[in-house]
Amino acid sequence: MSSSQKISKTTAICALAAAMLSSTALVGHAQAETGDKKIAFSNNYAGNSWRQAMLKSYEIVAKKAVADKIVAAADIFTTADKEVPTQAAQIQNLILQGYNAIVINAGSPTALNGAVKQACSAGVVVVSFDGVVTEPCAYRIVVDFKGLGVEEVNQMAKFQPKGGNLLEIRGLAGTSIDDAIHTGILEGVKAHPEFKIVGSVAGDWDQTTAQKAVATVLPSLPLIVGVVDQGGDGYGAAQAIAAAGKPRPTIIMGNRQDELAWWKEQKAKDGYQTWSASIAPGVSTLAFWVAQQVLNGNTKVPHDLVVPYLAFTQDNFEAELPNITKGGVASHEYTQADAVAAINANAK
């Protein structure tokens, strides 16, 4: 994995800022060219803290863009369930409603491709992020989720050098994120044969769901030394393990406030060590600005735009904790200039 995939929040922001100086003219031009355009956000799921933070960030940035007359509309549409056919129908409705671009957090990497292709054929710009789609006409905000999964096991090896049994907590079934992180974890375990995954549960990236799932499976498991997961589930796992009276394992965290607060308590008590990483919820705002840039005619926008995930270590997580709202997630809201800088960086 490259060092860019593991850079901290501060490093990521600084890297984008370095390219902003060359983007000023384009930003001003963009405001004038897309003032009559409408962007819709199709989201398949809102049932955890990460998704709520994602929606809040999008709303803040999109409302300001409308107020500043950069775009005419930037509406959010979240499905009432996690069913892919419902999201496909939603996308088809957005096409009929005359939106010029659709930002998508997709429930499936492939099952929405038909609806996405219909959108592209109708001249609608499609930008997927987090849960991306594979249809070639769409744009993708890409995070190396597989690399994140590999790195979880690499980090686990530092804290548990003798190896041992691992519990895996998976995310939302059928999504590209769940598949990619799971694949990375398996690859990491293959590279570290001292570890063995002895149990797997679905946590839906939600601490309450994860807590119940872990509590259910614990009685049937041998002693575990670590928990590898996908974010939003670390604190729930810790609560379930403590309630069961089991020894505290190394639990990889996902940048949630409750997880980092628990980590801080454990560290203060006996020096507990772990690692935390996740994609920033504010990546939704980057997707918004990428859609705006494509509508504006920015020909530099690649169909696959790579951004880093946010990672925190034993040395820097406590400094970030006061910046996260209670029940929230560490994040970064992107500006139009950030997006132009990221586009230029990827174009190079």
Collapsing DSSP states into helix, strand and coil, what is residue 142? strand
Residues 6+ apart with CB under 8 A from 125: 100, 101, 102, 139, 291, 294, 295
Q: For residue 232, is pLDDT > 50?
A: yes
| Alpha-carbon gap, residue 169 to 309, rounded angstroms | 19
**CA within 13 Å, CB half, 71:** 25
The predicted structure's pLDDT at residue 298: 95
pLDDT value at position 262?
98
How do the domains of the chain map onto residue ranges? 10-143+280-311+330-347, 145-278
Question: Residues with Cβ < 8 Å from 239, sequence gap 6 or more?
Answer: 207, 211
The CATH topology of domain 145-278 is Rossmann fold (3.40.50)
The pLDDT score that the predictor gives to residue 79 is 87
Please, what is the average pLDDT of the chain? 91
Q: Assign residue 116 a region (left: φ > 0; alpha: ψ between -120 and 50; beta: otherwise).
A: alpha
Nearest CA among 54, 10, 279 for reference residue 144:
279
Average pLDDT, stretch 134-146? Answer: 95
* Helix or strand run (H / E) with residue 228: strand 226-228
Stated pTM of the model: 0.82
Per-residue pLDDT, 82: 78
Closest CA to 200 of 180, 228, 223: 228
Q: CATH classification of 10-143+280-311+330-347, choosing from 1.10.10.10, 3.50.50.60, 3.40.50.1100, 3.40.50.2300?
A: 3.40.50.2300
**Is residue 95 predicted with pLDDT exceeding 60?**
yes
CA triple 41-45-47, angle to 5 deg: 130
Same fold, 10-143+280-311+330-347 and 145-278: yes
Kindly indicate the confidence band of residue 124, based on its pLDDT and cuts at 50, 70 and 90.
very high
Residue 219: exposure state from Cβ atoms within 10 A (0-12, 13-18, ≥19) = exposed
